[in-house]
Structure 1
Amino acid sequence: MKNSSKETTVASGKYLFTSESVSMGHPDKLADQISDGILDALFAQDPYSRVACETMVTTGLAVVAGEITTTANISYQDVIRNVIRDVGYTDDEMGISADTCAVMVSIDRQSPDIAQGVNEDNTSGKEIGAGDQGLMFGYACRDTEPELMPMPIALSHRILNRLNDARFGNEVNWLRPDSKSQVTVEYDGFTPVKIDTVVLSTQHSPDVEN
């Protein structure tokens, strides 16, 4: 059969679909940006760097660990603190501050067993092995333009982008970096028909109340 019974049911009925987006100051996103910042700094000096870098952040602390093989010479401390500063964490009252937080770095070279499997040998004619495995999925759809993404996630992103603009533009001076949006959309089959619920939560200065 071309369509499963589940696909047929979804395509012909109404249901709610929720997606969330987190801001650059959310701990998960901050950790991603620190890892990305390290990768960018390494690639700027050595495009052939091999980087498996993980980051964890919590109150007053950023921890970076992993395996990196590179000829680049960077200051991990400076990269980490600069990312935290660019996001907007510049005061201990926010939970973490670029200038005062503790930073722990534990970086080793890539395992020689992995390197042996992925290093290119131009004389052997053999295929190069994979250095890691992963599972990803994604698709384009007609819900939104220009994103071509499902409406719930596209709207969640737009809300936080506008919130970030307000924060960096000082339109709202009590906003802090950490925020999250959730949008629930009602679908009829594969067609979005209405926005059911919007939730926006944001970190803010302590002198602001509902």
Structure 2
Amino acid sequence: MRTSYLFTSESVSEGHPDKVADQISDAIVDLFLSKDPEARVACETLVTTDRVILAGEIRGQGVMDKDGEWSPGIQREIEDKVRATVKRIGYEQKGFHWDRLTFENFLHGQSADIAMGVDASGNKDEGAGDQGIMFGFACDETPDFMPAAIDYSHKILQQLADDRHSGAAPFLEPDAKSQVTLRYEDGRPVACTAIVVSTQHVEGYDEGARLEELHAYVKKAVAKVMPAGLLSDDTAYHINPTGKFVIGGPDGDAGITGRKIIVDTYGGAAPHGGGAFSGKDPTKVDRSAAYVSRYLAKNIVAAGLAKRCTIQLAYAIGVSQPLSLYVDTHGTGTVPDDAVEAAIFSIDRLGGLTPRAIRTLLGLNKPIYEKSAAYGHFGREPDGDFFPWEKTDLVDDLRAALSA
């Protein structure tokens, strides 16, 4: 394993077209789960110039029955939720405006063949909503137990968004991207060699004094969130390197749900099984198993059992028990990896990591997902019902299981 290297991760803002699509899809998930905690949702969103299109499969009381009939008034609620999400992000521009955009809804009933495999019946427990592999990761590089480059990339854009919403940076518009390159020595981040920030702005901030103002603002925003010890005079800044960024968001580039899966997870510092999260109810293990994998990995590191931990889970559609659990502490573990695997299956409240047990453990059948759809699903502060997979309340259970 290399110990000295450069590593880069990127993030995108809530106003990036793909993130707009993700937030709309998760707003629909939240709407449906607020009406029926057992609702089935697979909602894909396409956003482009002054247009939002939904497609996918759904089912749930107060939403759509098994015969595919819409519940009264729900289609109006869906459109209102879409427009409210776009308004919250801040799009009131020519080319993409929450009130003027054209909305189309092509959601329809869930396939009976899929429902048959997932639903519990008789002696059959509820099965996974799809086959696939899911990964979780944690490390001790940051207080959030996240890889440093993606953690700082998210926080830079969160700072820009906070300042835009508060009015502290009125020249900013919603679309933005960031990228952080760190130099590692002995496996630890010791310096930031490059920062890239491309942010949409109002007309006129691409030349002269206003361009200088924009550059100075971005550098100050970076300094607020990056550890001072990582920044230096040698850090290279690339701020709006194309020169002008006025046309942005869905007017500048189409966005689709699920295209930012590395931004959503670990910035390339860990494997990804390939499945996106947004737009899916928690019977879909693409989402719920990825969340519980992060939960397990974070608690393993928080317990002092390892400095780095990768977890893989695998499922088959319609089958409740996971096909495999793999733990890799990358040579940093204080106990053997197979002992950690055995400990996980010995903890009663984990329920063998079946889809139903995961949802019960983490309380996933709640309208908690729109908040997760921008600035990463991981490394966030647990707050009430939100981000329960970020809690470290399994530490004592793991220690007890390993000492038994």
Normalising by structure 1, we get a TM-score of: 0.88
CA shift, 1:65, in A, is 0.4
1:161 and 2:158 equivalent?
Answer: yes
- How many percent of aligned residue pairs carry the same amino acid? 46
Mapped to 2, the partners of 1:177 and 1:135 lie a distance apart of: 34
Q: Partner amino acid for 1:59?
A: T
SS of structure 2 residue aligned to 1:136: strand
Q: What is the aligned partner in structure 1 of residue 78 from structure 2?
A: 76
CA shift, 1:130, in A, is 2.0
Q: What is the aligned partner in structure 2 of residue 29 from structure 1?
A: 19
Mapped to 1, the partners of 2:154 and 2:43 lie a distance apart of: 26
Could you say if the C-alpha distance between residues 134 and 25 of structure 1 is closer, same or farther in structure 2, counting changes exceeding 3 Å? farther
Q: What is the aligned partner in structure 1 of residue 48 from structure 2?
A: 58
CA shift, 1:70, in A, is 1.2
Mapped to 1, the partners of 2:142 and 2:198 lie a distance apart of: 24
Could you say if the C-alpha distance between residues 134 and 105 of structure 1 is closer, same or farther in structure 2, counting changes exceeding 3 Å? farther
Q: Render the CA deviation track for 1:94-125: whole Å, top value 9, x for unaligned.
A: x311001111110111001111111211xx31
Q: Partner amino acid for 1:128?
A: E
Q: What is the aligned partner in structure 2 of residue 40 from structure 1?
A: 30
Q: Render the CA deviation track for 1:3-46: whole Å, top value 9, x for unaligned.
A: xxxx3xx13xx211111111110111111100110011111111
Q: What is the aligned partner in structure 1 of residue 285 from structure 2?
A: none
Q: What is the aligned partner in structure 2 of residue 133 from structure 1?
A: 131
Mapped to 2, the partners of 1:82 and 1:137 lie a distance apart of: 33
Please give the root-mean-square deviation of Cα atoms over the aligned residues, in Å: 1.3
CA shift, 1:182, in A, is 0.2
CA shift, 1:194, in A, is 0.7
Q: Partner amino acid for 2:114?
A: I
Q: Render the CA deviation track for 1:155-198: whole Å, top value 9, x for unaligned.
A: 11111111011101111111100001100001124211111100
Q: What is the aligned partner in structure 2 of residue 177 from structure 1?
A: 174
Deviating beyond 6 angstroms after TM superposition, the runs of 4 or more aligned structure 1 residues are: none
SS of structure 1 residue aligned to 2:41: strand
Mapped to 1, the partners of 2:93 and 2:41 lie a distance apart of: 31
Mapped to 2, the partners of 1:199 and 1:109 lie a distance apart of: 43
SS of structure 1 residue aligned to 2:140: coil
1:20 and 2:10 equivalent?
Answer: yes
SS of structure 2 residue aligned to 1:183: strand
Could you say if the C-alpha distance between residues 134 and 102 of structure 1 is closer, same or farther in structure 2, counting changes exceeding 3 Å? farther
CA shift, 1:79, in A, is 1.0
Q: What is the aligned partner in structure 2 of residue 100 from structure 1?
A: 100
Mapped to 2, the partners of 1:72 and 1:43 lie a distance apart of: 10
- Greater strand content: 1
Mapped to 2, the partners of 1:134 and 1:203 lie a distance apart of: 37
Q: Render the CA deviation track for 1:108-162: whole Å, top value 9, x for unaligned.
A: 11001111111211xx3124332223443231111111x1111101111111111
Mapped to 2, the partners of 1:29 and 1:111 lie a distance apart of: 27
Mapped to 2, the partners of 1:134 and 1:30 lie a distance apart of: 26
Q: Partner amino acid for 2:169?
A: V
Could you say if the C-alpha distance between residues 134 and 27 of structure 1 is closer, same or farther in structure 2, counting changes exceeding 3 Å? farther
SS of structure 1 residue aligned to 2:123: coil
Mapped to 1, the partners of 2:171 and 2:132 lie a distance apart of: 40
Q: What is the aligned partner in structure 1 of residue 188 from structure 2?
A: 191
Normalising by structure 2, we get a TM-score of: 0.47
Could you say if the C-alpha distance between residues 87 and 182 of structure 1 is closer, same or farther in structure 2, counting changes exceeding 3 Å? same
1:203 and 2:221 equivalent?
Answer: no
Structure 1 unaligned blocks of 5 or more: 1-6
Mapped to 2, the partners of 1:57 and 1:133 lie a distance apart of: 28
Mapped to 2, the partners of 1:199 and 1:141 lie a distance apart of: 24
